Amino acid sequence: MRIRLSKSIILDLMSPQVLADGFRAWVAGESGSGKSSAAMLFASQIVEQDGQVIVLDAHGEYERLWEVKPGAVVKLGYGSKPVDESSVEFCMELVRQGKSVLIDLSHWTDLEPPKLDAFVLDFIRELYKLRRECPRQTFLIVEESQNFMPQQQESGQAQNIKVFLGIMTGGRKYGLNFILCSQQQSLVDVRAIRSCNVRVFLRISDEGDWKKVRAYMPENLSIGFKAGEKRNDITKFKSGEAVLVCRWIGEDKRVQLALPEVTPRQPLIEAMKEVH
């Protein structure tokens, strides 16, 4: 299963090395930098090649992924009946059938974090159990991953993080792969970030976030806040421009990610277009 990331970079997700290590990507960047588009770039090519993708879609943006292969993708929510706490079994049945499943969680994301946490925790536990019994390459996209793996833990969250980290590291043996997106690097648990073997750094202009992210970049990359390097500074990257750190593709590189054919839908912008 070959994924085109840019004009010149193709990553084979089924190469022996990737299969042995498991695929765990961390996609970091500020709002509008292209995180969801980067995740969509992976997702659309995986679905095209009959792979299985599951999206925990915090903002209800991935609906168009369905268009890539309508028979193989099921979307839950997105204006139809939203998932609720009792939907885990239904979602799992679709996963068992081999479908790619887009789960719109936007009705809970900002307003009801406890329900969101409970659903996600229950779902990933069931997913892990299924893949342990029945291994298959599955790619789980987690938007706003700081919600589930926060660095600063509120009471009760420690258990969620433990489960998530365990599943992230243990899941590779059973085909569970991850793409984590977050615009707030400084809020994500460092253990989750460290466990990722693919790192995509998009535009980051907040100095606090940049300092945090810098620690995960190679020393010799000539980008950053240093004087004299402003022209090709990560703080000014265009959308989709990124530093890619991944030993499977060799040297760390600055790249322009290929824009996916289906881009994430931005509900507010689209709704505003309809009004005007």
Q: Which of 24, 35, 99, 131 binds ligand ATP (CB under 6 A)?
A: 35
The piece of 36-44, 116-124, 239-247, 267-275 that touches Mg ion (CB under 5 A) is: 36-44
Close Cβ partners of 120 (under 8 Å, ≥ 6 residues apart)? 56, 105, 148, 160
Q: d(Cα 146, Cα 125) in Å, to the nearest integer?
A: 18
Q: Does 184 bind Mg ion (CB under 5 A)?
A: no
The option from ligand ATP, Mg ion, none interacting with 197 (CB < 5 to 8 A, set by class) reads: none
Residue 123 sits at φ, ψ, to 5 deg, of -65, -45
Q: Does 142 bind ligand ATP (CB under 6 A)?
A: no
The piece of 14-22, 35-43, 69-77, 187-195 that touches Mg ion (CB under 5 A) is: 35-43
- Two tokens at 43? 């997702």
Per-residue buried b or exposed e for 211-236, using 16+ beta carbons within 10 Å of the residue's own CB = ebbbebbeeebebbeeeeeeeebbee
- Two tokens at 179? 């793409």
Q: Which of 36, 44, 45, 106 binds Mg ion (CB under 5 A)?
A: 36
- Two tokens at 144? 């706003």
Choice between 189 and 241, CB closer to ligand ATP: 241
CB nearest Mg ion: which residue? Answer: 36
Residues in 235-254 at the binding interface with ligand ATP, rule: CB under 6 A: 239-240
The piece of 32-40, 147-155, 220-228, 252-260 that touches Mg ion (CB under 5 A) is: 32-40
Q: Does 29 bind ligand ATP (CB under 6 A)?
A: yes
Close Cβ partners of 121 (under 8 Å, ≥ 6 residues apart)? 148, 160, 163, 164
Encoded one letter per residue, x for contact with ligand ATP by CB under 6 A and - for no contact, window 182-221 reads -x--------------------------------------
Strands (E) located in the chain: 2-4, 10-12, 24-28, 52-57, 73-76, 100-104, 138-142, 176-182, 198-201, 241-245, 253-256
Q: Which of 22, 51, 60, 264 binds ligand ATP (CB under 6 A)?
A: 264
Applying CB under 6 A, which residues contact ligand ATP?
29, 31-37, 183, 239-240, 257, 259, 263-264, 266
